[in-house]
A and B are shown apart, each in its own frame.
Chain A
């Protein structure tokens, strides 16, 4: 039973347009939802997070939206840049248990110049 799902393995967008990456989860006990970005041959790096008590968190070009009733979150990147091309992982954790984060399978984003 996969608790965190990213149903789109890949996404391709034009530079300057919006990228929307989606994530669904099944466990209503999660307290935090995080997005990580991963380049080839590197470890994932933290991008942005949102608490379960919020519905939106914004950091520069990146915004994460949380819909608890639908158990769905999305990452918006506006405007998209070629350097954003990477694999994006959605993850979820409970408070005090970051070391036990549960990850989705990732979405490969390609931003075309």
Chain B
């Protein structure tokens, strides 16, 4: 059971470079999300998807792009990296439980530590 897999685990970029953070889940979950966590802060939503072909912006979407061509994959693209994007990035997936009392919990990957110099 792989769950949610994120690659790479660590990445160092120079300002202005672009890159893609990969996220894949093998649980056939409908929903996938990208969050970032800055020191001393909670997780802030960047983008999310409710299914293949459907994405929407979260709280802090600027500087990031996403697409969802398959149920399994939800890559996050940094268009032109900036030092303010130095953070830990978490991908998460979830399903629509539709019933009490399970709620709608998120399954997280182990994160990508990104540093932009």
A interface with B by C-beta (< 8 Å): 4, 6, 9, 32, 34, 36, 41-46, 49-51, 53-54, 57, 89, 91, 93, 95-106
Q: Given A96-B96, A99-B49, A101-B106, are A89 and B43 also a contact pair (CB < 8 Å)?
A: yes
Are B43 and A99 within 8 A (Cβ)?
no
B interface with A by C-beta (< 8 Å): 4, 31-33, 35, 40-45, 48-50, 58, 90, 92, 94-96, 100-111
CB <8 Å contact, A99 and B40? no
Question: Which residues from A are CB-within-8-Å of B103?
Answer: 32, 34, 49-51, 93, 98
Candidates A95, A96, A99; contact of B33 at CB < 8 Å:
A99
Residues on B with beta carbons closer than 8 Å to the beta carbon of A54: 101
Partner of A32, one of B4, B44, B104: B104
Which partner residue on chain B sits nearest A33 by CB separation? B103
Residues of chain A with a CB closer than 8 A to B109's CB = 43
A100 in contact with B33 (CB, 8 Å) = yes
Q: When the two chains form their complex, are residues A99 and B101 in contact, meaning their CB atoms are under 8 A apart?
A: no
Q: Which residue of chain B is the closest to A4 with respect to CB atoms?
A: B42
Contacts of B45 in A (CB 8 A): 100-102
Name the residue on B nearest A96 (C-beta): B96
Point out the residues of chain B lying under 8 angstroms from A53, CB to CB.
Answer: 100
A43 to chain B, nearest CB (A): 3
Residues of A within 8 A of B35 (CB): 103
Instruction: State A96–B103 Cα separation when bound (angstroms).
Output: 9
Q: Which residues on the B side are within 8 Å of A49 (C-beta)?
A: 101-103, 105
Instruction: Report which of A89, A99, A102 forms a contact with B31, defined as CB distance below 8 A.
Output: A99
Q: Are B40 and A105 in contact (CB under 8 A)?
A: yes
